[in-house]
Chain A
Amino acid sequence: MQRIGVFVCHCGTNIAATVDVKAVAEALGHEPGVVISQDYQYMCSESGQELVKNAIKEQKLTGVVICSCSPRMHENTFRKAAASAGLNPYLVEIANIREQCSWIHKDIATATEKAIILGRTAVAKVHLNTPLNSMESPVVKRALVIGGGIAGIQTALDIAEAGFDVDIVEKQPTIGGKMAQIDKTFPTLDCAACILTPKMVEASQNERITIHSFSEVADVKGFVGNFTVKIKKKARFVDETKCTGCGLCTEKCPMKKVPNEFNMGLDNRSAIYIPFAQAVPKVATIDPNYCMMLKTGKCGVCSKVCSAGAIDYKQQDTFIEQQYGAIVVATGFNPINLDKYDEFAYNQCPDVVTSLELERLMNAAGPNGGTLLRPSDKTHPHTIVFVQCVGSRCDDEKGKPYCSKICCMYTAKHAMLIREKYPDTEVYVFYIDVRTPGKNFDEFYRRAVEQYNVHYIKGMVGKVTPKSDGKIDVQASDLLANEQLHINADMVVLAAAIEPDKTARPLATMLTTQMDTNDFFTEAHPKLRPVESATAGIFLSGACQGPKDIPETVAQASAAAAKAIGLLCKNSITCNPCVAHSDELMCNGCSSCEKVCPYGAITYIDKEFRMPDRTTKVRRVASVNPAVCQGCGACTVACPSGAMDLSGFSNSQIMAEVDAICK
């Protein structure tokens, strides 16, 4: 005979204000098998837990039902309390009468009735609970970092520093990411390359770090502590181990009209190229879309001039497979495409540029050697208009609903740098709001206004129009003066919204992690677990989780590293015992479960069965690897013969719950 204890929590007034907790305790006390039913103000407190523990011991309970908040909050607390009182922790069930009841109802009578039903449901389930025992699973002491921008580099350096091997997978030919393209950083105005390149070099020299550049994650299997990742190393047609990075091939390559993505297409590179001088690894890559040899079989100049013999036109994509204990996602961001913003004439006028393009125009390694010139006629611009929030804080489908966070500060930086270097240039900034929270940020913006006389105008630009004399008419509203303005500008700079990299969505599917509607990765808890994903063993670093500037990105990168290190330090982790198992006598080997399993936990084995007529028959049956199974339950609903069942959430338990609700 079962002896069940029910404990109803008030949660202060969170539950008690809407649910008559005493009536709930009273009603559930009459359920079959319930020997004790109590309410208490804070069941999760020390004394509340003592109440549960004492009842388990004194009443010799065989099952416990806690009517309280969501199991995501305190299931673990009560399981531990039960275990310390000698009861198997999986004999505890939570009825969520807060999030699913008191918080969403106003009427006390209705909410109380629903709380009783939820409690009764949990009692019905706990009748069928069986003791479960967790297994241990070993942790592979190696981490994978996906993305080699400043976020990925910092995470990798921190993990390596703690003594673990770490691999960086970067899809570009070099690590460095967006920060490598930036000229100066706010609010200190130090040169981005000067502070980034030492970290890139450190990453390449650290013997615990392996950089897979020009590579992508092709497949992820496994689970926390034991991921198996397939990495695709794209053919770069250059042997990385032989190339010395001398750059002779890039000079001699006859195909020189390839848009240079590092300079945002503002100048050209050769078909065989090294993205920039400080690239890591400093190895050439052939662009197969432009290489004459690869396209027509005629040329071969790079191969002739390469004294190291590194050129290999026959190179193919290769795949490597590696085990990891932890994975850190650091896939970063991109500015949005401005094709839909025709009112700013971005596609019609070369002198209308994005802020990232302006970074390159002002950079010493950029198309003009660091002198700010108009892309159209290479003349010095005398009037420059900045437009903020292009695609940010946008309520239509063209843009993004969120604030991109970094634009106010980098625009102030651009405006200040231009006024400093070219005092004869008038600079206008159109803004909706200027948002400068952050250490020394508002002081920085005020310097732009007060010391550098940048004209900040509250209002948006309505239309940007190229004129026949090469000037640009900028029509805008000044909301404070209530005036329409026409500014005769030489250049217009658009602060485009930022969005997650396009590779993030398919990656999230491979990792079974969650994303929000904007394709930013969702953290496990927005306040208390900001660098972990909801999937165990997957951590988030940098702008893949939300718009961030460099200091915040680096802080989050180190935090993600700390979380990953915490995992890698363990020799083994406790597995969830709520896993699927198949009843081999009922299984007909149809493969339905194998097809739906997102973790690859199900395989088929041929097994001998003794038949009623004393013959032996070999049958194909499903077999679940409990270390890989995550207990999602997909197989149990897919199984046509009802052979699959999930421990802790068995078919009979679910049906008992349904019956209790419908009673």
Chain B
Amino acid sequence: METFTYYPGCTLRTKAKDLDAYARASAEALGIKLVEPADWQCCGGAYTTAKDEIATKLSAVRVLNSAKEAGQPLITVCSACHNVIKQTEFDISRDEEMAAKVNNYLGLNEPYVGGTKVYHYLEMLRDVVGFDKLKEKVVNPFTGRKIAAYYGCLLLRPAKALAMDAPENPTIIEDFIRAIGGTPVIYSQRNECCGGYITLEDKAQAQKRSGAVMDSAKDMGAEMVITACPLCLYNLKKNSGSDLPVHYFTELLAEALGLKEASNE
């Protein structure tokens, strides 16, 4: 059994408990042990590109460092957390000045200058478990179901730092859908922004964006939309005005593996 440091993030403790519970149950069934570090903090929610801003990046460095100390790769599941932590890892391993500032502030036993391998849960399924192996373990396949993958903007971009998949024509969630027996639906808005945090500031804009995503998915024949991002899920459900169901990918994973009931208890 392979062991990973697991970073759930705060939304998974509150609004997105499903995303977390199904992720943990499925990982166990797939032979992956997830260990949650005791003292993780909120990732900050958004990665600032300001060069002189390090305060909002410190919590990401702390969890990267705990993974390093545990000698384990780090797994994230929320798109936003993944984006922040992966970008922090990318920058700290390349920008000596940033690394120096961060380490001056944190005063760790040993300075952290990068080196922790960060996987998104989907990458773990693809690169560690393997979609072919996953397919073998599926007991409730989604045969004949037309499922639209919604990537949003945080999971794939900036492509150099995230390095997960092609940002304009990704395949990782579609491959996941195939692995659990479903039929992926390709639609134009699958990697466009849902409106994100702007829902707090300008609801009409978020409604326009998330509406465009859902209409585009429905237009191409999707029966449901899946995502890895709690904020996307919120916008697509509450702001789009669409009746198309939206789920976390981990929920479908748990269902396919026959764990849904168990993990709901």
Chain A residues in the interface with B (C-beta under 8 A): 341-343, 347-348, 463, 465-468, 473
Contact = CB atoms under 8 A, between A and B. Distances in A.
B168 interface: yes
Contacts of A343: 168
B169 A467 contact: no
A342 B219 CA distance: 20
Interface in B209-226: 216, 219-221
Nearest to A463: B188
Given A465-B216, A468-B219, 10 more contacts: A342-B166, A342-B169, A347-B169, A463-B188, A465-B189, A467-B188, A467-B219, A468-B220, A468-B221, A473-B188
A466 B169 contact: no
A119 to B, nearest CB: 44
**In the A-B complex, the 5 residue pairs with the closest CB atoms:** A465-B188, A342-B168, A342-B169, A343-B168, A468-B219
Interface residues of B, number: 11
Interface string B151-170: 00000000000000010110
B148 to A, nearest CB: 12
Per DSSP, chain B at the interface is loop
Nearest to A346: B169
Per DSSP, chain A at the interface is mixed
19 contacts: A341-B168, A342-B166, A342-B168, A347-B169, A348-B169, A348-B186, A463-B188, A463-B192, A465-B188, A465-B189, A465-B216, A466-B188, A467-B188, A467-B219, A467-B220, A468-B219, A468-B220, A468-B221, A473-B188
A146 B189 CA distance: 48
A433 to B, nearest CB: 25
A466 B221 CA distance: 13
Nearest to B219: A468
Nearest to A347: B169
B195 to A, nearest CB: 16
A341 B188 CA distance: 14
Interface in B174-212: 186, 188-189, 192
Nearest to B188: A465
A40 to B, nearest CB: 54
A476 B169 CA distance: 18
Contacts of B189: 465
A468 B222 CA distance: 11
A598 B55 CA distance: 59
A657 B188 CA distance: 67
A73 to B, nearest CB: 44
A463 B186 CA distance: 15
Contacts of A468: 219-221
Contacts of B221: 468
Contacts of B219: 467-468
A155 B186 CA distance: 50
Nearest to B169: A342
Nearest to B185: A468
